[in-house]
Amino acid sequence: MTIPRKVLKKLQEIVGKDSFSIEREELLCYAYDATGRHFLPDAIVFPKNSLEVSAVLSLASQQNFFVIPRGSGSGMTGGSLPVKGGVVLVMTKMNKILDIDCDNFIATVEPGVITGHFHEAVEKRGLFYPPDPASSDFSTLGGNLAECAGGPRAVKYGVTRDYVLGLEAVLPTGEIIKTGVQTAKGVVGYDLTRLLVGSEGTLGVITKMTLRLLPLPKCVRTMTAVFKSMEAAAETVSEIIRQAIIPRTIEFMDNASVNCAESYLEIGLPREAGAMLLLEVDGEEHAVEADIEKLKVLCFSQGATDVNVALSEVERSNLWKARKSISPALYRLAPDKINEDIVVPKSKIPHMVRKIEELSGKIGLPIASFGHAGDGNIHVNIMLDKKQPDQVTKAEAALETLFDYTLKLGGTISGEHGIGITKSAFIAKEIGEVELELMKNIKRVFDPKGILNPGKIFD
């Protein structure tokens, strides 16, 4: 897409000289996301408030150019990529925490706030915002809302949508809307808030959000359990859930994930582990200690070869560093990866794990699995070299089998990363024809000219 010079000039006037660029070096920085794919935008703008966002979208509507919202570009499915060119709307300058209301347990924030900064700010006041994607050190809250991010704590606390009470958003026409409430509950009209959360930046640009908070848990304890096989670890997860123990995280890593994280960080992770569980419990101290004891006994009874409870904050933070480093560390296995985030009913995790091992053997490519086992959410990483056509063919065939088996088990093809561009070819496997048409009609109502984030989800 080529945007006429006079329109670019108008864009620059809206956001100001310092918040606009058409320089190739700068455009390149906003051409990528975590998929490693890249598409060069025509321009980038950094709005500072919702009026500027509105003016950019009004202009786009009048002049017919595409606008692609972007937070930190850590999305795993290409949601922020300008696949058809256009203007990338980088939200990182709208990064103020406007209010933390300790009496009503709500916060009002702008979308460019880094998730981890928000955690720190509320925790200083004895409050807790549970959604905690492994990218929290660099992802924005706007990106988290647009993807309905999950993360390790979802097993006990739910996902991002469970903490969004209300929004301010700008429609592709430039109109500014307010959805939801500033109160603990509210049911007036259709739930536009829930519609926007998880809409992957295709229906509107989120410019402000009201988030629900909880009291900060008094005590948190973290432990690891090492198993000889992925299957034994998966069976243990099912048993933890059957016994109604609810840790706030039940993460798992297979042998490849443990080894890649260890090579990256060198913190003494057990390289020989067939699989490792990372369990975290929170609440009142006596209840936490009791749960940790129950989990120790349960893990050993399920065949754990070693169980360790973190004794210091350093040990605990090292374990989380290891977990959070897996995704980039996996590139030690191969230069490329196809990264999926399927979810199966929790009781079906052992079936899925067997299938993944079988698939890896069949295609002769390493498949590293890790993720949020407590939710049945498995990050399946098919490691390959995309320059080798036979590897690409094998990996793509494995993907079809993986998705078909996931759906056969009653699962879903994406638990938290969204559809974006990488999974749009598979959406019809899961969503029926009528439902898909309903979704496309909703997109047309919000965005009659199709200018906002084109080529995502359906195309």
Ligand X SMILES: Cc1cc2nc3c(=O)[nH]c(=O)nc-3n(C[C@H](O)[C@H](O)[C@H](O)COP(=O)(O)OP(=O)(O)OC[C@H]3O[C@@H](n4cnc5c(N)ncnc54)[C@H](O)[C@@H]3O)c2cc1C
In the three-class reduction of DSSP (H, G, I as helix; E, B as strand; rest coil), residue 297 is classed as helix
Residue nearer to ligand X on the CB measure, 90 or 399: 90
Q: Which of 30, 45, 50, 79 is the binder for ligand X (CB under 6 A)?
A: 79
Residue nearer to ligand X on the CB measure, 232 or 373: 373
34 touches ligand X by CB under 6 A: yes
The interface region with ligand X, picked from 69-77, 299-307, 398-406, 432-440 by CB under 6 A, is 69-77
| Shortest Cβ 224–ligand X spacing (Å) | 18
| Shortest Cβ 86–ligand X spacing (Å) | 12
| Shortest Cβ 303–ligand X spacing (Å) | 27
What track of x and - describes contact with ligand X for positions 296 through 335 (by CB under 6 A)?
Answer: -------------------------------x--------
| Shortest Cβ 110–ligand X spacing (Å) | 9
By the 10 Å C-beta count (0-12 exposed, 13-18 middle, 19+ buried), 423 is classed as: buried
What track of x and - describes contact with ligand X for positions 411 through 440 (by CB under 6 A)?
Answer: -----xx-----------------------
Q: Chain-centre distance of CA 244, in angstroms?
A: 27
By the 8 A CB rule, do 50 and 208 touch? yes
Query: Reading across the β-sheet that carries 67-70, which strands appear in turn?
Result: 20-21, 43-45, 87-90, 67-70
Q: Which of 100, 164, 205, 352 is the binder for ligand X (CB under 6 A)?
A: 205
Pairing of strands 336-343, 377-384: antiparallel
The per-residue DSSP string of 106-171 comes to EEEE-TTSBHHHHHHHHHTTTEE-----TTTTT-BHHHHHHHT---TTHHHH--GGGGEEEEEEE-
Q: Which of 47, 85, 86, 111 is the binder for ligand X (CB under 6 A)?
A: 111
CB < 8 Å & 24+ apart, contacts of 384-391: 384/334, 384/336, 384/337, 384/338, 385/334, 385/335, 385/336, 386/335, 386/336, 387/335, 391/365
The interface region with ligand X, picked from 64-72, 275-283, 360-368, 429-437 by CB under 6 A, is 64-72
| Shortest Cβ 346–ligand X spacing (Å) | 17
Alpha-carbon span 133 to 277, nearest angstrom = 18
Q: Report residue 137: phi and psi, to 5°.
A: -70, -20
* Total residues in contact with ligand X, by rule CB under 6 A: 36
In the three-class reduction of DSSP (H, G, I as helix; E, B as strand; rest coil), residue 224 is classed as strand
The interface region with ligand X, picked from 35-43, 63-71, 261-269, 302-310 by CB under 6 A, is 63-71
| Shortest Cβ 448–ligand X spacing (Å) | 18
Q: Which of 151, 247, 411, 455 is the binder for ligand X (CB under 6 A)?
A: 151
Alpha-carbon span 351 to 138, nearest angstrom = 34
Q: Which of 82, 172, 198, 201 is the binder for ligand X (CB under 6 A)?
A: 201
- Indicate the residue type of 212: R
Q: Which of 200, 251, 254, 280 is the binder for ligand X (CB under 6 A)?
A: 200
Residue nearer to ligand X on the CB measure, 221 or 323: 323
| Shortest Cβ 15–ligand X spacing (Å) | 15
153 touches ligand X by CB under 6 A: no
The interface region with ligand X, picked from 9-17, 67-75, 256-264, 268-276 by CB under 6 A, is 67-75
- Helix, strand, coil percentages in the chain from 3-state DSSP, rounded to 5: 40, 25, 35
Query: Reading across the β-sheet that carries 367-372, which strands appear in turn?
Result: 306-309, 219-227, 275-283, 249-254, 367-372, 377-384, 336-343
369 touches ligand X by CB under 6 A: no
Alpha-carbon span 445 to 341, nearest angstrom = 30
Q: Cβ of 297: how many Cβ atoms within 10 Å?
A: 11
210 touches ligand X by CB under 6 A: no
142 touches ligand X by CB under 6 A: yes
Q: Which of 30, 45, 56, 71 is the binder for ligand X (CB under 6 A)?
A: 71
Residue nearer to ligand X on the CB measure, 72 or 302: 72
The per-residue DSSP string of 14-47 comes to HH-GGGEE--HHHHHHTSB-TT--B---SEEE--
The interface region with ligand X, picked from 11-19, 43-51, 127-135, 356-364 by CB under 6 A, is 127-135
By the 8 A CB rule, do 45 and 89 touch? yes
- Indicate the residue type of 29: C
Handedness of CA 208, 210, 216, 222 (dihedral sign): negative
133 touches ligand X by CB under 6 A: yes
| Shortest Cβ 141–ligand X spacing (Å) | 8
Alpha-carbon span 172 to 58, nearest angstrom = 7
179 touches ligand X by CB under 6 A: no
Which residues of the shown chain bind ligand X in the complex (CB under 6 A)?
Answer: 33-34, 68-76, 79-80, 91, 111, 133-135, 139-140, 142-144, 146-147, 149-151, 200-201, 205-206, 327, 416-417, 453
